[in-house]
Amino acid sequence: MTDLDERLRDAVRACTDMVVWHRRTTPGEVFSSLASACEELGIEDWDRYGDGGAVARVEEQVAEVLGKPAAVFFVSGTMAQQAMLRVWCDRRGSSRVALPDLSHLLFHELDGPRLLHGLRFEPLTEGRHTPTADDLRALPAGLGAALVELPLRDAGCLLPEWDDLAALAGAARDLGVPLHADGARIWESQPFYDRPLPEIAGLFDSMYVSFYKGLGAPAGAAVVGEQDAMDELRGWRQRMGGQLHQLTPYAVPALLGLRDRLPRMGEYVAWARALAGELVAAGLRVNPSPPHINTFEVFADAPLHDVEERLAALMEREKVQPCGSWRETTVPGVSTTEVSCYDSALAFDPAKVAAWYAEIAGL
């Protein structure tokens, strides 16, 4: 760790407030809030290996919110999606899965889908592009499944236009290919489409959703779909070690997120778009412009070391963490950071935050 790394770490720890992501909490604060939540929500019984209690309530609520017959709760989205793709591929008798080459499954799961399930991935899209029906039809026949990431996070949280997404779903039906949605940020994506969540989820045979990102839980995920597919999915949850004796500690914060944060997604997205507009006016670049959801990329024409020096100085002065980590891009002298706006951001004036970013960029 360099001296600058230590300075940044100490500056972050000294901050009393933050703009991006969710407010920092201690384990004690979280556990105390969960005890109160059990009282508020009337949760008196534990689940048993994922059956009953708060887990059953989460599954019922998520299925209803997304307009699907059934849902299965998981402690991990990685486990959830691998299991769902395994179900579809086993049914089709094919291990081939089409997905974007920037997909989470390719970059952040240590080759688990191949090593654990024998899945073979083929690029549905390459680079910063969202998929179309033509992309799917161009692949050789015999796919076990196709996956769409909504939004494509590593491309700046890009979303396909509604007509393109609907056409892709139609092509999948015509080809007989199960279409799965990586909906880790589907809650945040709904304002972009301005359509009910069941209408969005209705395009897909299955959809994974996360509880620990926008909904603020410590962990947890679910998959929704038809009842028979969800019954098979429960078998894979058990085989993969996800059927813990009691999943209630993960289910309760999911219920809180669905109750408290899901209704505010439109506010988060609106604030993020306001910030993006102020950033552009201040001379920075954002991608996409305007943002599709409440998460987007910011670019500064400045070397990473200089950006980090100015960031440390600003946090030491303001006692506010305005952004996450910055990193170098493939373009020399250009640095970037990802901005995610939730409850914490709403307390700030977007113009003030943009001024801080301009200072960090050296403008």
Instruction: Give residue 185's pLDDT.
Output: 97
Place of tokens 């654990």: 116
Q: Answer yes or no: are the C-beta atoms of 111 and 85 closer than 8 Å.
A: no
Give the tens place of pLDDT for each residue, 129-142.
999 999 999 999 99
Instruction: Give residue 266's pLDDT.
Output: 97
Which residues touch 75 (CB under 8 Å, ≥6 apart)?
219, 220, 221, 242, 244, 247, 250
| Percentage of residues in the chain having pLDDT higher than 70 | 100
Question: In the chain, helix, strand, coil percent, each to 5?
Answer: 50, 15, 35
Residue 27 CB-density burial (10 A; 0-12 exposed, 13-18 middle, 19+ buried): exposed
Residues 187, 210: Cα–Cα separation, whole Å: 9
Question: Phi and psi dihedrals of 267, rounded to 5?
Answer: -65, -45
CA separation, residue 167 to residues 158, 177, 316 (Å): 17, 14, 51
Q: Answer yes or no: are the C-beta atoms of 147 and 182 closer than 8 Å.
A: yes
Pairing of β 320-321 and β 17-18: parallel
C-alpha 136, offset from chain centre = 23
Residues 348, 330: Cα–Cα separation, whole Å: 32
Res. 1: pLDDT tops 90: no
Place of tokens 């670019």: 299
Pairing of β 285-287 and β 96-100: unpaired
Count CA atoms within 13 Å of residue 22 on its CB side.
12
**DSSP per-residue codes, 267-333:** HHHHHHHHHHHHHHHTT-EEESSS-SSSEEEEEESS-HHHHHHHHHHHHHHH-EE-S---EE-SSTT
Residues 174, 224: Cα–Cα separation, whole Å: 22
Residues 19, 343: Cα–Cα separation, whole Å: 9
Checking phi first, is residue 230 left (phi over 0); if not, alpha (psi -120 to 50) or beta? alpha
Res. 166: pLDDT tops 90: yes
Res. 42: pLDDT tops 90: yes
Nearest in space to 274 (alpha carbons), one of 296, 257, 300, 301: 296
CB atoms within 10 A of CB 94: 17
The mean predicted confidence, pLDDT, of the chain is 97
Instruction: Give residue 277's pLDDT.
Output: 98
Instruction: Give residue 110's pLDDT.
Output: 94
CB atoms within 10 A of CB 109: 18
| Percentage of residues in the chain having pLDDT higher than 90 | 98
Mean pLDDT throughout 89-104?
Answer: 97
Max avg pLDDT among 18-22, 60-64, 103-107: 60-64
Q: Answer yes or no: are the C-beta atoms of 318 and 328 closer than 8 Å.
A: no
Give the tens place of pLDDT for each residue, 281-301.
999 999 999 999 999 999 999
Give the tens place of pLDDT for each residue, 219-269.
999 999 999 999 999 999 999 999 999 999 999 999 999 999 999 999 999
Res. 178: pLDDT tops 90: yes
Q: How much is the pTM?
A: 0.96
**What letters, b where the CB count within 10 A reaches 16 and e where it falls short, cover 190-209?**
bbbbeeebeebbebbbbbbb
Domains of the chain: 3-24+264-361 (3.90.1150.10), 43-260 (3.40.640.10)
